[in-house]
């Protein structure tokens, strides 16, 4: 994936920012720490294993940090925010607790004009979900451009590597080697739905059909579109124009390949690729996003948002394969 000219950092520069990852022992927290390793512009505040669940120690670390990254379940993330009484401490929440909450800025710099600046100036930023990152990257600009109707009924078919389910699901896939495919969210009330609907500007929540495959990382999100007039070429051109200056988002302009692949590599990838394929009659299209669920879908996005909030080079510490 080609790297274009980076955006400059926004906000006030801090010589060495103190960062505390609350939930650093989880998959997302571990990868964030790896991305920050070796940097001289940030320093990690760490707790001993015995202190990670000590509320007094956590409170001290939360209030000592210039910026806190929450890699916690939703309820624990809400509790952590309530512990912060230092008005200078800024927060990125990687849980889904605050993604549509008042007072929180949505941490997807590329999907809407002005969002990068909003993140840079925000105190509270909610990191996007992995599935919504792909969905919104495709749908939000097309709704804004009038190429998809805001009152349309959309479905989202998606598969992810099992690392997106955290340590429990990772262990389950390791223990049960006969699992070939796991579909879930069958109650049709997945926690990602409000995020998808609100930030895409939709009148209706989409029908979301997520599944997990026996690969550690990687993700493909597809939004099928049908109608009397589906202009795939116009949609592709609109996305290409929208993301023309972005380093992490690439819109595929090639003719339809025989297949698209999810690569289960060990190296994180913080990029996002978008594909639109239409039928010859202009009645159907397949909108597809491919990303690393732990990269642009989680840890990579956290680091990008952290850089923006601290006025550091936006893509410092991020990784692109290919």
Q: Give the per-residue pLDDT at 8.
A: 38
Average pLDDT over residues 134-140: 98
Q: How many angstroms separate the CA atoms of 302 and 29, rounded?
A: 10
Q: Give the per-residue pLDDT at 6.
A: 35
Classify domain 130-293 at the CATH topology level: Dihydrodipicolinate Reductase; domain 2 (3.30.360)
Choice between 267 and 82, residue whose per-residue pLDDT is larger: 82
Q: What percent of the chain has pLDDT over 90?
A: 74
Query: Which of 44-58, 155-169, 171-185 has the lowest average pLDDT?
Result: 171-185
Average pLDDT over residues 197-206: 97
Q: Give the per-residue pLDDT at 322.
A: 56
Average pLDDT over residues 39-56: 93
Query: Which of 62-71, 73-82, 250-259, 274-283 has the lowest average pLDDT?
Result: 250-259
Among residues 23, 289, 2, the alpha carbon closest in space to that of 159 is found at 289
Q: What DSSP letter does each residue of 227-280 carry, written as one string? A: SS---HHHHHHHHHHHTTT-SSEEE--SPP-S-------SS----EEEEEEE-T
Q: Give the per-residue pLDDT at 316.
A: 96
Beta strands in 2-129 (DSSP E): 17-22, 42-45, 67-70, 90-93, 105-106, 124-126
Average pLDDT over residues 62-75: 97
Average pLDDT over residues 240-247: 96
Q: How many angstroms separate the CA atoms of 22 and 28, rounded?
A: 11
Instruction: Give me the phi and psi of 77, to 5 degrees please.
Output: -65, -40
Q: What percent of the chain has pLDDT over 70?
A: 92
Q: Give the per-residue pLDDT at 255.
A: 66
Active site annotation includes 302 = no
Among residues 313, 292, 291, the alpha carbon closest in space to that of 27 is found at 292
Residue 9 pLDDT exceeds 50: no
Which residue is catalytic, options 65, 77, 119, 130?
A: 130
Q: Give the per-residue pLDDT at 181.
A: 84
Cβ pair 72, 6 in contact under 8 A = no
Torsion of CA 139, 221, 9, 94, to 10 degrees: 110
Residue 123 pLDDT exceeds 70: yes
Q: Give the per-residue pLDDT at 22.
A: 97
Q: How many angstroms separate the CA atoms of 24 and 261, rounded?
A: 31
**17-128+298-310 against 130-293: fold identical:** no
Cβ pair 17, 92 in contact under 8 A = no
Give buried/exposed letters for 250-289 (b at 16+ CB in 10 A, else e): bbbeeeeeeeeebeeeeebbbbbbbbbbbeeeeeebbbbb
Q: Give the per-residue pLDDT at 166.
A: 65
pLDDT, tens digit (0-9, with 9 covering 90-100), for 276-306: 999 988 899 999 999 999 999 999 999 999 9
Choice between 265 and 287, residue whose per-residue pLDDT is larger: 287
Q: Give the per-residue pLDDT at 272.
A: 96
CATH of span 17-128+298-310: 3.40.50.720
Q: What DSSP letter does each residue of 121-157 carry, written as one string? A: H-SEEEPPPHHHHHHHHHHHHHHHTTSS-TT---EEE
**Highest mean pLDDT, choosing among 40-44, 161-165, 177-181, 251-255:** 40-44
Beta-sheet pairing, 272-278 with 249-251: parallel
Query: Which of 71-75, 86-90, 229-233, 254-258 has the lowest average pLDDT?
Result: 254-258
Q: Which two tokens stand for residue 59?
A: 């409170």
HSE (CB half, 13 Å, CA atoms) of 246?
Answer: 25
Query: Which of 122-126, 127-131, 265-269, 288-292 has the lowest average pLDDT?
Result: 265-269
Q: How many angstroms separate the CA atoms of 85 and 87, rounded?
A: 6
Q: How is the chain split into domains, by residue range?
A: 17-128+298-310, 130-293
Among residues 187, 192, 70, the alpha carbon closest in space to that of 129 is found at 192
């Amino acid at each position: 994936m080609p790297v274009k000219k980076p955006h400059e950092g926004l906000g006030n520069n801090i010589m060495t920012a103190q960062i505390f990852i609350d939930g650093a022992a989880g998959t997302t927290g571990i990868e964030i720490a790896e991305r920050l390793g070796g940097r001289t512009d940030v320093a990690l505040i760490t707790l001993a294993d015995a202190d990670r669940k000590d509320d007094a120690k956590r409170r001290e670390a939360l209030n000592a940090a210039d910026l806190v990254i929450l890699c916690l379940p939703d309820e624990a993330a809400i509790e952590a925010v309530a512990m912060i009484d230092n008005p200078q401490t800024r927060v990125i929440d990687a849980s889904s607790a605050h993604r549509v909450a008042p007072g929180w800025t949505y941490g997807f710099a590329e999907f809407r004009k002005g969002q990068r600046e909003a993140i840079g100036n925000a105190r509270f930023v909610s990191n996007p979900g992995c599935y919504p990152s792909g969905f919104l990257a495709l749908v939000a600009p097309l709704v804004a451009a009038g190429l998809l109707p805001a009152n349309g009924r959309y479905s989202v078919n998606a598969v992810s590597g099992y690392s997106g389910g955290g340590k429990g699901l990772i262990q389950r896939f390791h223990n049960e080697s006969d699992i070939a495919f796991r579909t879930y969210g069958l109650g049709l009330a997945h926690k990602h739905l409000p995020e998808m609907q609100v930030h895409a500007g939709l009148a209706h929540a989409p029908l979301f059909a997520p599944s997990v495959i026996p690969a550690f990382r990687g993700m493909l999100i597809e939004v099928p579109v049908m109608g009397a007039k589906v202009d795939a070429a116009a949609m592709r051109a609109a996305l290409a124009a929208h993301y023309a200056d972005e380093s992490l988002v690439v819109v595929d302009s090639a003719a339809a390949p025989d297949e698209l692949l999810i690569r289960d590599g060990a190296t994180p990838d913080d990029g996002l690729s978008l594909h639109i394929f239409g039928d010859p009659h202009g009645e159907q299209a397949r909108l597809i996003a491919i990303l690393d669920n732990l990269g642009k879908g989680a840890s990579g996005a956290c680091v990008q948002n952290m850089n923006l909030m601290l006025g550091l080079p936006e893509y410092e510490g991020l990784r692109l394969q290919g």
